[in-house]
Structure 1
Amino acid sequence: MQTKIKTILAIFILFVAASSCNDYLDLRPQDGIVRDEFWKTKEDVQAAVIGIYSSMLSSPPGVGDLTMTQYLFMHGELRGGMVTEGPNVTDDARDIMNTNVLPSNGLTDWGAFYRTINYCNTVIALAPAVRNEDPTFTQIQLNHFLSEALAIRAYLYFTLARTFKDVPLKLEPTLNDQDNFQLPTTPQNVVFDQVIEDLKLAEEYAVEDYGDVASNKGRITVYAINAMLADVYLWTEDYDQALIATTKVIDSNKYSLIDASNSWFNTVYARGNSSESIFEFQYTTANLGPFYNIFLQRPQFIAGPIVLEEVFGVDFDNPENADIRGVRASLVAGTNEIYKFTGLNNADRKALQDSDTHWFVYRYADVKLMRAEALARLGGINENIEQGQEALDIIEEIRLKREAIELTEMTVFPDNTSGILDYILAERAREFAFEGKRWYDLLRMARANDYERIDLLISNAIATAPPAQQQTIIAKLRDPNSHYLPINTFELFTNKALVQNPFYK
């Protein structure tokens, strides 16, 4: 009980420290409170690490920004062409969907990300010295905690760089009011390099098995790190390393795709932490997620009108022939309600008090399809038809497990790299609908080989844009800087070292 009280108190202090400040990057703590009153025992370190995870689930007391999960959903989906506005959509969200983003848009606030990054930095900087205070704190235990902090920091910087491009890179904690808050942006490629460096070190220190399912799915493991590395390597076009990273996950034999059945949705999504899960944000009935409100009670977003027929396909001759991922899994037919995060099973929704569906960061299907993407790229580079065929085999494996219908099947030959990539992109739309990945998938594939496939972004945008706006949107998207969100006006005002993305000047 005493340890639990210390844990709760430590998390509370961390959150109070963040909520008390309104300075640049949400990094400024109350002077001395973290260093002087904590960091004495391994339990303090554990509490700080738990605070990192808690900060990704909800904002600290007194802070009015959105949860990180909401930002992850909106940054990854609003420009992806599969989401449209619901009756309670905000002006800021509508503007992003309409490719009409200004620096004053509230959804360009990155405070939630930097707040958690500072928690990670604090653990990385202060935890090692606790071994001098607590003789029971082993090097192995320290390494495990550092692995979690390093990996989460890496994931958040990876997300920021995919969303804003060039961002401030701060690797030291903000521990007092004398710290420098005037930080310039760091180029995206340098941020990616740092992410890889952090993940490699985290991999060396990582836990393979915590001994219980919830921790193995809700905390950083070596396999979550491998999944992150595969993702980053695809963005940096290092396909050999992406292949190696996916192999580590697959060869662990710890994960598997679940066969389609009446219980598939409940197992994978409603309950979560299934054999397909690699890393999930662990909402509970005591700490509910934001989804019930934004998708059901006061819906801000619904599935786009083309999603059911064009993404999942509809067999009008045989309604029973349906992709397991479509109706009453991703969405509700007719209303286009986003169902993935509010449903209990194929027929019933969860009650409000039970709306504990997780946020899915990485699932096994993601690793499989990232592997297919790396193989397709390497097959084209090496003129290796076998690698192209292996990529197609992975797609077919997933389609069989999900009972994908013939209408969505594509005829692609193993030497057709572009065709295989299009097939992967289409399969990712079905597999990860509304999981915060669509825009990043489009952008990653479009920007490879010096924007060889910029047509992916343009065709995606004009598919749902009013005819009168299409030419304006096309002109915007031809500028690569438009593919990233602007730095928020408040950040520019607070930090004079920042320079705005040229597209938004």
Structure 2
Amino acid sequence: MLLPVVALLAASCKKMFDVKPEQVVDQTQMYRNVNDADAAILGLYGKLMNLAKQHVVLNELRADLMDVTDNANDALKQVTLNNVASNNTYADPRAYYQVILNCNDVIKNFQIMVANKKFTRDEFNQRYGDVVALRSWVYLQAGIQYGTVPYVTSALETIDDVKDESKFPRLSLDKLIDTLIKVTDSIPYKDVYVTGSSLVTTIDGYNTGKFFINKKCLLGDLYLWRSAFTKSDIDARLAAGYYKQVMETGGNGDYDTYRIKWSEVTTNNDIAVGYWNDGRVNQYSENMLVDDNDYGWRSIFARGQDALYNTEWIWMLYFNASFSPENPFIDLFSNRGGSYLVKPSQAAIDGWDAQVQSDNNFPYDARKRLTYKTLDGQPVIMKYLYNYVDETTYLPTSLLNKPGKWFLYRAAQLHLHYAEAANRDGRHKIAYALVNNGLSYNFDNSPGAGTKRDVTNTQQTFDPETAYQFDARYGDNPTFRAPWHRNVGIRGRAHLKALPVNGADSTTLIENMIVDESGLELAYEGSRWADLLRIAIRRNEPAFVADKVYNKLVKDGNGSAAATRARLLAKDWFLPFKWE
């Protein structure tokens, strides 16, 4: 059977995703109880990690923010030109289907287990829902890259059986999304694993609570994608509804979790862009930027699993020397101990440089300095390297030990996708507020008037739809500290000026703003190509993606820019789906 990744979960939980062949057990020894079910799920996520490099390369290098270095091989050069041969290693669909078919096998065996009362219905519902959602996510990623893919839900003997199109005809991306919505929205348990679940534990020093896919984020993304095809306000609203449930994970008494909160200006004990003030500096100074693994915006990617980590991260997986697979991002990004194959594009750098910071009016986006650095005269993408290098010298702490993370979903992406959905459902002001300077300011009858006033009937959206109801009151006489009062928007947290809208509630203008802000905030985290493609499909505007990629290639001096633009204008958006 196609289940090489499943191993019994040892009582000590000694290894997290280790899948060495000697640990594989006979089929008759598996699926005896809930511990075996947990082992199967951890094995699936171990298999998923083999997709990390392919996922990041395809979603970033095909788009506008990443380009190749002189060290890159032909396979990477094909990807950046969106001219990918069928034998290109990054176009190989087998890694997607290894995960999908293992999911199918696990689902089949979970159904047998619950029928035989080997675990409870609640235990089944939670684990079955997780595996179905993970499979749907992998299918969505494959659909975005290939356009049409075989949809297989049965357990197969070998992966090569997928190639039989008489049994498994391909679904187009729009039909695939319809199918994934039907399957995923019907799962019996859509919440995260709660504290007390046997899957929420500590393994190799990591708490596993954020290792598992967030089903509501996934459903939000699926409906957002469907809205791109259907142009339906209802689909956009369904997406917004799922996103908002995640945004309010902490309940009304938690002002911080997933709410993009303001900075702690006196301590910088936050994940916002900030500046140190040591008593000698009485105004913001560029050389006082908080650039630290423990404080400020950079720490989003470097910090351990503390309280602030939990306010931003929704889904993250870890690479560690004690388990496989090996971290692929050191080799991809680092010029110190790696092969240094890709770098930030000049278009990305120009985007950061075009911003203006609030208060100090510095003419650049500080996230630029925190996302990449110039090391040995070369621009190096740093988000994936902060746990590999010394935090001040940027030299590897060990050439052999290559810890790292795969960034899969965080609060900023959640807010930006929510804003895209809300904007498409006519809630331009809400979308603008979440992208720019927050809900309190934009829904205030007299913004800037301070807290010593009655805000009973202001700083709220007063929307009739639950998906768009926000209470951000922050005032006194009487005192209000409503659930969203700390929200400052994506640009506000980055210490940037709010962008003008020139008095127009333009869907297209605000959507462009959202896409641009996503590039500044989420660069290299594996979502850029998908975001550009979704907008191009929604607008039936191939130039939306073609021009951005063309601009990247022109600025980086690539002579194939015009040919690449022509392919993308012709909607040649998808990779060849073929394996030998």
Question: Partner letter of residue 342 of structure 1?
Answer: L
Contact kept? 2:177, 2:222, Cα under 8 Å = no
Check 1:326–1:148 CA distance in 2 against 1; reply closer, same or farther (3 A cut).
same
Is 1:461 matched up with 2:549?
A: yes
Q: Which amino acid aligns with 2:43?
A: G
**Which residue does the alignment assign to 1:422?**
512
Matches within 5 A, 1:114-133: 114-131=97-114
Task: Give the length in aligned residue pairs.
Answer: 453
Instruction: Choose the corresponding residue for 1:293, options 328, 331, 335.
Output: 331
What are the superposed Cα offsets for residues 184-212 of structure 1, whole Å, 9 maximum, x if unpaired?
Answer: 32222221122212321346354352355
- Alignment counterpart, residue 199 of structure 1, candidates 184, 191, 194: 184
1:148 to 130, 153, 172: 130
Cα displacement string for residues 447-484 of structure 1 (whole angstroms, at most 9, x for unaligned residues): 114x1x3221221122123585444333212222x111
Kindly tell me: are residues 373 and 78 of structure 1, through their superposed partners in 2, closer, same or farther at Cα, counting changes over 3 Å?
A: same
Q: Which residue of 1 aligns with 2:383?
A: 340
- Unpaired segments ≥5 residues, structure 2: 1-7, 201-205, 251-256, 261-270, 275-289, 437-488
Q: Find out whether 1:306 has 2:347 as its counterpart.
A: yes
SS state of the match for residue 186, structure 1?
A: strand
> Take 1:71 and 1:441, find their aligned partners in 2: how far apart are those partners?
17
Which amino acid counterpart does residue 271 of structure 1 have in structure 2? R
Report % sequence identity: 20
Distance 2:217 2:569 in 1: 35
Of Structure 1 and Structure 2, the greater helix share is in 1
Kindly provide the CA deviation profile for residues 403-448 of structure 1, in whole angstroms up to 9, marking residues without a partner as x. Answer: 1367xx4545442111111111110001110111111111111111
Aligned partner of 2:430 in structure 1 is 390
The answer to whether the 8 Å contact 1:14/1:34 transfers is: no
1:55-70 aligned at under 5 Å gives the runs 55-57=47-49, 67-70=50-53
Q: Note the 1:165-180 alignment, pairs <5 A.
A: 165-175=147-157
TM-score, L = length of structure 2: 0.70
CA 1:315/1:115 → structure 2, altered by over 3 Å: closer, same or farther?
Answer: same
Among candidates 237, 244, 249, match of residue 247 of structure 1: 244
CA distance in 1, matches of 2:144, 2:224: 11
Please say which of residues 455-464 and 304-313 is displaced more in the overlay: 304-313
Partner residue in 2 for 1:47: 39
Aligned counterpart, 2:496: 404
Residues 215-243 of structure 1: CA distance to partner in whole angstroms, max 9, x if unpaired? 22111345444554455445444212111
Q: Which amino acid aligns with 1:75?
A: L
What letter matches 2:178 in structure 1?
D
Asked if 1:370 corresponds to 2:417, the answer is yes
Matches for 1:79-118 after TM superposition, within 5 Å? 79-118=62-101
Residues 388 and 133 of structure 1: is their aligned pair in 2 closer, same or farther, counting only changes over 3 Å? closer
CA apart distance, 1:37: 3.5
Q: Distance between the aligned counterparts of 1:12 and 1:467, measured in 2?
A: 42
**SS at 2:416 equivalent:** helix
In the superposition, relative to structure 1, how do residues 168 and 176 fare at CA in structure 2: closer, same or farther (>3 Å)?
A: closer
Contact 1:260–1:403 (CA under 8 A) maintained in structure 2: yes
Q: Which runs of 5+ in 1 are unaligned?
A: 19-32, 58-66, 380-386, 492-505
Q: How big is each residue's C-alpha offset from its partner over 1:99-136, in whole Å with a ceiling of 9 and x where there is no partner?
A: 3222222211011111011111111111122245565x
How far does residue 327 in structure 1 lie from its aligned partner after superposition?
0.7
SS at match of 1:281: strand
How has the CA–CA distance of structure 1 residues 411 and 96 changed in structure 2, closer, same or farther, with 3 Å as cutoff?
Answer: same
Kindly report which structure 2 residues correspond to 1:423-502, keeping only aligned pairs within 5 A, or say none: 423-449=513-539, 451=540, 453-463=541-551, 464-465=553-554, 469-480=560-571, 482-488=572-578, 490-491=579-580
Give the letter for the 2:494 counterpart.
Answer: R
**C-alpha separation in 1, matches of 2:148 and 2:525:** 24
**Aligned counterpart for 2:59 among listed residues 67, 76, 101:** 76
C-alpha separation between the residues in 2 aligned to 1:447 and 1:244? 22
Q: 1:354 to 1:459 in 2, by over 3 A?
A: same
Alignment partners' CA distance in 2, 1:47 and 1:372? 37
The residue number in structure 1 matching 2:28 is 36
Contact residue 330 and residue 339 of structure 1 kept, 8 A: yes
Which residue of 2 is the match for residue 329 of structure 1? Answer: 371
Alignment partner of 2:378: what SS? coil
Relative to structure 1, the CA distance from residue 420 to residue 38 in structure 2 (aligned partners, 3 Å threshold; closer, same or farther) is same
1:216/1:410 Cα in 2 relative to 1: closer, same or farther (>3 Å)?
A: farther
Give the structure 2 partner of residue 269 of structure 1.
301
> For 1:215, which of 208, 211, 217 is the aligned residue?
208
1:403 partner letter: H
What is the CA–CA distance in structure 2 between the aligned matches of 1:357 and 1:203, rounded to whole Å?
33
**1:39 counterpart SS class:** coil
Partner-residue secondary structure (3-state), 1:84: strand
More strand by share: 2
Structure 2: which amino acid aligns with 1:477? L
Relative to structure 1, is the Cα distance of residues 423 and 412 closer, same or farther in structure 2, using a 3 angstrom cutoff?
Answer: farther
Aligned equivalent of 1:279 = 315
- In structure 2, do the counterparts of structure 1 residues 362 and 401 end up closer, same or farther at CA, with 3 Å as the change threshold? same
Inter-CA distance 77–230: structure 2 relative to 1 (3 Å threshold): same
Partner of 1:434: helix, strand, or coil? coil
Cα distance change on mapping 1:428 and 1:331 into 2, 3 Å: farther
Distance 1:145 1:343 in 2: 33
- Output the TM-score relative to the length of structure 1: 0.80
Q: Which residue does the alignment assign to 1:351?
A: 397
Distance (Å, rounded) in 1 between the aligned partners of 2:137 and 2:384: 22
Change (3 A) 1:223 1:239: closer
Equivalent residue, structure 1, for 2:479: none
In structure 1, how many angstroms separate the alpha carbons of the residues matched to 2:159 and 2:505? 59
The amino acid across from 1:310 in the alignment is G
Distance in 1, Cα, partners of 2:435 & 2:520: 12
- Residues 255 and 177 of structure 1: is their aligned pair in 2 closer, same or farther, counting only changes over 3 Å? closer
CA RMSD of aligned residues (A): 3.3
What is the one-letter code of the residue matched to 1:351?
T
Specify the code of the residue in structure 2 equivalent to 1:168: P
In structure 2, the partner of 1:260 is 273
Structure 1 or 2, whichever has the larger Rg, is 2
Q: 1:160 to 1:34 in 2, by over 3 A?
A: farther
